[in-house]
Structure 1
Amino acid sequence: MTSYRDILVRPLGGDERITEIVLNRPERKNAYTQQLCDELCHALRVFDRSAVTRVAVLTGAGDAFCSGGDVQHSEEIDQGDAHPFGHGFVMRDTGHTVVRSLLAVAKPVVAAINGAAVAGGLTFALACDLRIARQRARIGDTSGRLGLLPDEGGAWFFPRAMGLEAALRMSLLGEVYDAATAQRLGLVGEVVPDAEFDDAVRSLAGRLADAAPLAASVVKRLMRRAADMTLDQALDTLGMAVDVVNRSEDVVEGVDAFLSRRRPSFQGR
């Protein structure tokens, strides 16, 4: 198993089908650096290529999910200052790479928002497929408070999640919301009491791990791409996907399990 410095990677609750990836810089509220981003992208590639793992859970150590980019990491700031377009290059090689990696993963990824998820940290969560938050979590965009722009594609993700005016309000005013408000605005899908959070995350990830892996991967891809398609294009793409999935062993197992009134055991074939 690969050894990392700024993240932890382990089975969640001992279930080898579920990979927990923990951003592990609690002293900095899990703010990301080049090192953390490189490690996270590597861990996502390993997870996606594994024949055993089916679901990833992204979370943070301590009392934060992720507070965005580490503005005190002077080495990367110096790299940006050294070139007219240097800051854009640094972002391209750090947070932007993480967002692209999260979107490229074929398997489901859950953001378990255990605490503050702000600025680029919120963008990382929105690049995951599902988001579950504990009541104490605080979620929003603080980048404007520093005179910065919404990190790592926030200007793309935020309006899609919550609508244009709400996204502008959040970013222009630097607003941070409690978990219930964030759910109402569309930033998270589920909020659970603090004491029930770990169990709720395991339950959600376990249900995803029980699902048919091939169908889950195709559904994720279809829905991600549908936003940029016409209905006719989406239907044509679905027709081709169905022709592949319906021939799989998982569909045979799913139909037999339904007729036999038992739980299916999907193998991803």
Structure 2
Amino acid sequence: MGDTIFSGLELATVSTDSPAPGLARLTLNRPAAMNAYSFAMTQELLAGIAAFRDDDALKVLILTGAGERAFCTGGDVSGGDGHGFAEAPMGHGREMREGMQAVVLALRRLDKPSIAMVRGFAVAGGLALALACDFRLAAASARLGDTSNKVGLLPDEGGAWLFPRAMGHDRALKMVLLSEIYGAEEAARLGLVTEVVADGLLEARTLEFAAALATRAPLAVRLSKMMMARAGSMTLEESLVDAQMAVMVTNPSGDVREGVKAFFEKRPPKFEGR
């Protein structure tokens, strides 16, 4: 990734790069395990997300998995990495809270856009991870669903909250209880996928989409995302008051002056985030 804020990170199960100016990519890098997450991987993901969050030069985060077989297949239940299920009951909760649940929260709390680029399987915790991002671009051959109940596990990485909000309560419950996995087109119809892309074009389309997001006014992007995230737990009146507070930041900004000027001069604006 070059000389960036990511350079100081020592990562073994997650790789980082910047495929274009303003873009950061975190790649789950355990392809032999179909990118199943270990506790160590969750800690590296948290470090990478925090580094992206704190670097204002980085505008958009892309999250993906190494190889063609999987985006992420959930938690690694083999225990082969030394971080299997905790032995004591309280340890299970602590490992989940400080592991993948913390990753899901970190992604949801970002005030910059995130995109999950999905190849292969995104199931169980892998689907929750994808849904924690703002957008999901999936290869036509991708497969998405939840298989937790199949082995007696739960949608505990955030799926119990994320799945119903994406596809509705009854469909989410059906997916979980029957351990259903869908093709990309069906997943898009159900609300789990933002856009389906031909396999060979997925990376190019994802970078195109991310680059377009990166050209937008940073203040407006961040505040729009924050407003829409909060609006789900507000009344309309409360949301309108929230908007009134936000425009006191954006309307007098240099970005708005530049945007209006560029509009009348019929040229692309050059936003600086101030």
> Which category of TM-score, normalised to the shorter sequence, fits these structures?
over 0.9
**Offset, 1:40:** 0.5
Match of 2:73 in 1: 67
What TM-score, normalized by structure 2, do the two folds share? Answer: 0.95
**Offset, 1:243:** 0.9
Match of 1:50 in 2: 55
Query: Does 2:45 match 1:7?
Result: no
Deviation by residue 1:3-46 (Cα, 9 ceiling, x = unmatched): 3100011001xx13000110000011111111110011111111
CA distance in 2, matches of 1:241, 1:98: 27
Deviation by residue 1:38-71 (Cα, 9 ceiling, x = unmatched): 0111111111111211001000001210000000
Match of 1:148 in 2: 153
1:241 to 237, 240, 246: 246
1:27 to 29, 32, 48: 32
**Offset, 1:77:** 3.3
1:89 to 86, 94, 102: 94
CA distance in 1, matches of 2:75, 2:243: 38
CA distance in 2, matches of 1:157, 1:73: 26
Kept in 2, the 8 Å contact 1:76–1:90? The answer is: no
CA distance in 2, matches of 1:73, 1:107: 34
CA distance in 1, matches of 2:67, 2:89: 37
After the TM superposition, which residues 129-140 of structure 1 pair with which residues of structure 2 at under 5 Å, given as runs?
A: 129-140=134-145
Letter in 1 for 2:209: L
CA distance in 2, matches of 1:73, 1:211: 44
CA distance in 1, matches of 2:47, 2:253: 30
Query: Does 2:212 match 1:213?
Result: no
After the TM superposition, which residues 127-206 of structure 1 pair with which residues of structure 2 at under 5 Å, given as runs?
A: 127-206=132-211
Match of 1:77 in 2: 84
Kept in 1, the 8 Å contact 2:76–2:84? The answer is: no
Kept in 1, the 8 Å contact 2:141–2:199? The answer is: yes
What TM-score, normalized by structure 1, do the two folds share? Answer: 0.96
The alignment partner of 2:16 has SS state of strand
CA distance in 1, matches of 2:156, 2:180: 15
The alignment partner of 1:65 has SS state of strand
CA distance in 2, matches of 1:29, 1:91: 20
RMSD of aligned residue pairs (Cα, Å): 1.0
1:109 to 107, 114, 117: 114
Aligned length: 265
CA distance in 1, matches of 2:139, 2:89: 41
Q: Percent identity?
A: 46
Letter in 2 for 1:213: P
1:229 to 218, 230, 234: 234
Letter in 1 for 2:77: V
Letter in 2 for 1:236: V
